[in-house]
Structures are given as C-alpha cells and as structure tokens.
C-alpha cells in the first residue's frame, strides 16, 4: 500500500479519519504504524496529502489528514480490451489502474468464450476492489471507469468511430501491421484482442472504424503482458 486511500465515510470531521477495515490491519502488520507515524494518504477521486496517526485502538486507527496535492495526470487513453479469461481480469484491472488508464472498455469478440461474461469478477464490487489496489500502488486517487460491451459489431460500427474521432487509434495485431509508433501524449485509442487474437473480420471492422493495425514484433504476448508493454511504448514516462 503506497497510498492510504480514504473514503468520505472515514471522516469524522473536516480533517480526522478513523480506519477500521483491511487498511487498518495492513497499516499495523505491514507498515508497523504507531502514534506519530506519518503516511501518504488520498481521498478517493480527490486530493493527495499526509495523514498523521494520533491514536491506535483495538480495531481502529485515527489520523489527522491534510490534503493539498492533485493526483497524477491520467494517460490520454481509451483502452479497449477483448474480455480476457477471468483469472487474468484481476491483474489487468490492477495494472491499468496503476499505470494511469482512466477509461477501460471490455468488449466481446469471436474468440471470447460466452462463459467469461458470467464471471463474478465482473461485478461492480469486484472490479472496484481491484481498481482500488491498482491506484494504491500507483499513488493515485482517481478510479478508472470500466464499461462492458457484450456485442462486438454494434459497438464497433456505432460507437467506436466516434471514440476514435480526432485521436490516434490502434489495434494491436501481429498480421498485416505496422511497427508500434513512438511514444506521444496525443489522445489515443488502443484496442487489444483476446488470446488467439481477433479474427480477420474483426480486424477489418476495427480498421474501418479508424484503428490502424500495429504490432510489437515477432513474439506473441499474453494479453496481461501486452497491456503494460503497449502502454509503456505508446506513452512517455509521466
């Protein structure tokens, strides 16, 4: 936990908070906090600052906070990923949150098994749980927005052209592709396919919507690996 995230409900007045859940256990067992310890804290979707531990109870920790710093700049990116296997979802949610992605769209495709959409990891509660872990790691407070699109063709034909308008837009695919472009802070749309990749029909539809096909070289990466590699190549260190 590189940042102690605070909920509005943690506050008992303008500056004092009481922590009673897993964060309390983590602060005690991992950070070994005691009265007088100062921590980096941030209000979810708000400012970052410091928290001074003033009291440690049996199952609670009280801090006085001062929040004055804005969270880091987000990546200027809309990330679109074909729904991966459920066991990958937790890692992908955490990774994109840590790296500053603020808009993730999970889409269907021919090679996405229908059963994947039934996973409990797609519940709002489970998604938020992983995103919180990601922004804690990245010392950020702003939660990414996650959108589910279960129908590929209507999304690509009706929504994607507008999403791509006036942005550089790419789909990562090993065939008939150009090399990944250099890093830039331009507004960007990035589409990443499922294990096994998009079928030719889907690539054609994505190209028609405005996405240029790019590749990362001769090696084929798993989705969970391709996500951070592509983000690191497309954007400079922020």
Residue 235 has, within 13 A of its CA and on its CB side, a CA count of: 24
Binned average pLDDT, 10 residues per bin, the chain of 238 residues: 95 96 92 94 98 94 97 97 95 97 98 96 97 97 98 98 97 91 96 94 97 92 94 87
pTM: 0.94
**Are 54 and 90 found together in one domain?**
no
Give the end of a domain, one of 27, 52, 69: 69
Q: Could you tell me if 110 and 163 lie in one domain?
A: yes
CATH number of the domain enclosing 25? 2.40.240.20
Cα R_g (the chain), whole angstroms:
20
Per the structure, how many domains does the chain have? 2
Do 65 and 82 have their domain in common?
no
Answer with the one of 42, 69, 96 that is the final residue of a domain. 69
Q: 150 and 64 share a domain?
A: no
212, 122: one domain = yes
Domain span at residue 126 reads: 77-234
Residues 138 and 200 both lie in one domain: yes
pLDDT value, residue 174: 87
pLDDT of residue 162: 98
Per the listing, tokens 């990116």 go with 77
- Domain co-membership, 32 together with 104: no
pLDDT of residue 220: 86
The verdict on 14 and 118 lying in the same domain is: no
pLDDT attached to residue 238: 52
């Amino acid at each position: 936990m590189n940042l102690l995230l605070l909920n509005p409900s943690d506050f008992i007045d303008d500056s004092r908070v009481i922590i009673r859940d897993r964060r309390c256990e983590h602060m005690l067992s991992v950070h070994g906090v005691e009265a007088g310890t100062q921590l980096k804290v941030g209000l979810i979707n708000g400012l970052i600052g410091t928290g001074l531990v003033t009291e440690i109870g049996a199952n609670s920790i009280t801090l006085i906070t001062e929040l004055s710093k804005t969270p880091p700049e987000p990546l200027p990116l809309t990330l679109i990923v074909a729904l991966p296997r459920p066991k990958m979802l937790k890692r992908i949610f955490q990774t994109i949150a840590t790296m500053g992605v603020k808009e993730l769209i999970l889409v269907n495709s021919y090679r996405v098994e229908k059963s994947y959409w039934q996973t409990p990891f797609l519940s709002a509660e489970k998604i938020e749980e992983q995103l919180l872990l990601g922004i804690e790691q990245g010392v950020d407070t702003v939660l990414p927005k996650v959108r589910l699109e279960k129908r590929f063709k209507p999304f690509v034909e009706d929504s994607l052209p507008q999403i791509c308008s006036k942005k550089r837009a790419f789909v990562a695919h090993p065939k008939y592709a150009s090399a990944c472009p250099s890093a830039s802070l331009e507004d960007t749309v990035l589409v990443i396919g499922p294990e096994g990749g998009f079928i030719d029909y889907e690539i054609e539809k994505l190209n028609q919507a405005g996405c240029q096909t790019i590749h990362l070289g001769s090696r084929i990466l798993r989705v969970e690996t391709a996500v951070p590699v592509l983000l690191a190549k497309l954007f400079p260190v922020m």
